[in-house]
Homo-oligomer: A and B are copies of this chain.
Amino acid sequence: MTSLQNDCFIRALLRQPTERTPVWMMRQAGRYLPEYRRVREQAGSFMNLCTNPELACEVTLQPLERYRLDAAILFSDILTIPDAMGLGLHFVEAEGPRFSHPIRTEADVHTLIVPEPEASLRYVTDAVRLIQRELQGKVPLIGFSGSPWTLATYMVEGGSSKDFRKVKTMLYDRPDLLHELLGKLSDAVAAYLNAQIAAGVNAVMLFDTWGGSLTTGQYQEFSLRYAQRILDQLHVNQPTGIIPSILFTKGGGLWLESMAETGYNALGLDWQTPIGDARRRVGNHVALQGNLDPVALYASPATIRDEVHRILTDFGHGTGHVFNLGHGVHPDIQPEHVGAMIEAVHEFSPRFHA
């Protein structure tokens, strides 16, 4: 494996000294880039793009051509695992993901099989290998998965949901069945992330997009417990060094302490939580990633620079901060505004590492 020319991101996750604050952006390979939209059109469908390693590699690398980013993130979807479990993932225009065979009955849960990643998810590990060949160690590559709870919401609801009524009714009335589902998903996610690690990713991130819909208590029992179970199975000690792990729960600001106890190297923060408060609460255990409001990128470049400065100042001096948005970039953001954010991190952050 090629050693990294820029390991600023990895060092920040491990809270080792860096010269500046590393920066990348959730959904940095995405629709806001015209060059992405061209490849997406060429692919015909979103799933074709995800399952074609050459095209997935191409769009993964696109933002690195434009911006001074400190990490690449594998282009894929969070719902590849349920698709590999046979639920039939497809995308409905303007409505988002749908499953042809959602989880409806007890038997649906019992008969679910944990997929073998190098068989049914080979297109993902092929993409990882191809991206790493192309990247040539320029920056680290991040692998990722949806969290078991977040995957379960889509699998039981059959797609996106505003209130998660089906999966939460299962939680309230059949917690045993939900635990069975989440257990299988945890093993599937661990195997999937381990396959990505074996194929060469340099860090992994778990996206718990819908953890914030739970009550305190439910979050620990039905989401965090399984994030822990995954981490316990991850092959983080590699010959090339430690593979750092990031746990992101949107809406999880109340729960940073229990999240930090899991052993993930870093926590992703949404935009609600002040990063300075988060550092005071858990910064002696974990690095922090975030947390510019994605909607701030609609504002003027001058305002964006002010917001970047405010967040860097709020985190303060020293290592342990990876600059990012608090959620994925919106598809209609102007690429120049993303550039303003990234350049501001490069310009302002060195003084916080002097």
Contact = CB atoms under 8 A, between A and B. Distances in A.
Contacts of A165: 295, 298, 330
A271 B277 CA distance: 23
Interface in A154-188: 163-165, 168-169, 172-173
B330 A274 contact: no
Contacts of A169: 295, 298-299
A76 to B, nearest CB: 23
Contacts of A214: 272
A295 B163 contact: yes
A168 B300 contact: no
Nearest to A170: B299
A293 B215 contact: yes
B296 A168 contact: yes
Per assembly, the copies of the chain total 2
A295 B298 CA distance: 34
Given A254-B253, A298-B165, A216 B272 contact: yes
B298 A168 contact: yes
A116 interface: no
Contacts of A216: 272-274, 277
A106 to B, nearest CB: 16
Interface of A: 163-165, 168-169, 172-173, 212, 214-217, 251, 253-254, 271-274, 277, 293-296, 298-300, 303, 307, 330
17 contacts: A163-B294, A163-B295, A163-B330, A165-B330, A168-B293, A168-B296, A169-B295, A172-B295, A172-B300, A173-B300, A212-B272, A215-B271, A216-B274, A216-B277, A253-B253, A253-B254, A254-B254
Contacts of A303: 172-173
A165 B298 CA distance: 7
A274 B172 contact: no
A292 to B, nearest CB: 9
Contact of A272 (B163, B172, B215, B273): B215
